[in-house]
């Protein structure tokens, strides 16, 4: 019996060691480590071209382009599309295998054909497919404005995968979103841990509980209160939807203070309510491409509806 107990402990420790070790991805396919932590506001500023960009000297233009780290990564990823033929195994240890698959296809818009290049990262366990995410892609967006879209990545030794989607237009290179995934070797899934959105408004999600507006929180909204009370219901009015969330969140915070001043038995804090509400709304699937506008609408609509429920509950207490 003692020997069996000892064997079980050894097997547990061995299993823990195997599943907690770092991964050593083939160097050529790791991506760029710059992406593991970004200041999205600074990145936006560094990658913005001046108004007179096309009227200055070539040397001055080069200096502006070199200031943007995204420009420094572009050639590396362009080369990846060339050297990866179809499937390539980048890690294969203890029944866990990671592969990168290249996909090239065409999309047709207004009877015109536009090429799309894509790299996907897949998890296999004991030869069985488990999960997949898009690592990188390159294509022209021609359905709205005309710009070049690129997604870049980094796979770290700690099993973290970082993605950055940007659009390259005439005036600048603009980040759209940044994602942080973690490879969960127990569930054999890519678990989304963090999401940053930058589409004229900037906000951060840390799963499963945190939603935070990064810029403009203290600014006065350009919308009047009557508009803020309804604009979260209007699809694609995303700037107003963000302001609507801020309005109702501030209103709820004020009512909680009123309850405390009234010395009621209500003992929930705004932090506790935020956690409850966010856990519900952050179940909405994150955007994979340019669905950021629709995603922001869905998230803010859910959050505002939940905030309103709490506000109505507190109003009843205050009137009681």
| DSSP of 8-76 | HHHHHHHHHHHHHS-----GGGSB-GGGGS--HHHHHHHTBPPTTGGGS-HHHHHHHHHH-HHHHHHHH
pLDDT digits (tens, 9 = 90+) for 69-105: 998 888 899 999 999 988 999 999 989 999 999 999 9
115 vs 177, higher pLDDT: 177
Q: Is 218 or 48 the better-scoring residue by pLDDT?
A: 48
Q: Supply the pTM of this predicted model.
A: 0.86
Give per-residue pLDDT as tens, 5-29. Answer: 444 444 444 444 444 578 888 888 9
């Amino acid at each position: 019996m003692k020997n069996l107990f000892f064997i079980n402990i050894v097997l547990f420790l061995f299993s823990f060691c195997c599943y907690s070790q770092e991964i050593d991805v083939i160097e050529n396919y790791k991506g760029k480590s710059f992406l593991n932590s970004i200041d999205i506001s600074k990145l936006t500023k560094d990658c913005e071209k001046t108004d007179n960009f096309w009227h200055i000297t070539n040397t001055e233009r080069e200096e502006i382009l070199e200031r943007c780290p995204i420009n420094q990564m572009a050639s590396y990823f362009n080369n990846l599309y060339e050297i990866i033929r179809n499937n390539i195994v980048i890690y294969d240890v203890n029944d866990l295998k990671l592969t990168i698959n290249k996909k090239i296809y065409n999309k047709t818009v207004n009877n015109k054909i536009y090429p799309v290049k894509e790299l996907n990262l897949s998890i296999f366990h004991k030869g069985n497919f488990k999960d997949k995410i898009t690592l990188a892609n390159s294509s022209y967006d021609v359905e709205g404005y005309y710009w070049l879209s690129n997604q870049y990545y980094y796979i770290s030794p700690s099993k973290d995968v970082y993605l950055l989607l940007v659009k390259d237009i005439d005036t600048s290179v603009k980040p759209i979103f940044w994602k942080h995934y973690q490879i969960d070797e127990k569930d054999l899934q890519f678990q989304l841990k963090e999401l940053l959105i930058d589409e004229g408004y900037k906000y951060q999600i840390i799963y499963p509980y945190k939603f935070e507006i990064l810029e403009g929180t203290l600014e006065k909204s350009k919308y009047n209160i009557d508009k803020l009370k309804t604009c979260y219901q209007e699809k694609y009015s995303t700037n107003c939807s963000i302001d609507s969330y801020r309005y109702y969140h501030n209103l709820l915070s004020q009512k909680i203070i009123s309850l405390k001043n009234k010395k009621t038995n209500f003992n929930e804090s705004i932090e506790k309510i935020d956690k409850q509400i966010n856990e519900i709304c952050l179940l909405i699937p994150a955007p994979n491409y340019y669905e950021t506008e629709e995603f922001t609408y869905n998230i803010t609509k859910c959050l505002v509806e939940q905030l309103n429920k709490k506000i109505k509950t507190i109003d009843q207490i205050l009137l009681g």
